[in-house]
Structure 1
Amino acid sequence: VLKLCKYSDWEKRIKALIERILPIQKELARLQ
């Protein structure tokens, strides 16, 4: 159970990071 909780927590963190990075990548792509 602990492993599953940690995994779901990591999944949330990764998704949050991706959501932050994606707009930045789109801005960079637009600038190029």
Structure 2
Amino acid sequence: MLALRHGPAPGQALYTGRAASLDIEVDDHGPE
């Protein structure tokens, strides 16, 4: 949460990293 408060850059990086990993594991579930 603190990372998001610091700015969209660090928050986006964390979300993008997690999303990319999840996208591979739950590809059949969707891009989420």
TM-score under structure 2 normalisation? 0.55
Higher relative helix content: 1
Percent of aligned positions with the same letter in both sequences?
0
Runs of 4+ aligned structure 1 residues displaced above 6 Å come to none
Question: Unpaired runs of 5+ in structure 1?
Answer: none
User: What RMSD in Å do the two structures reach over aligned CA positions?
Assistant: 1.5
Q: C-alpha distance in 2, partners of 1:21/1:6? A: 23
Question: Unpaired runs of 5+ in structure 2?
Answer: 1-5
Structure index of larger Rg? 1
Give the paired residue count.
23
Relative contact order higher in (CA < 8 Å, ≥ 6 apart): 2
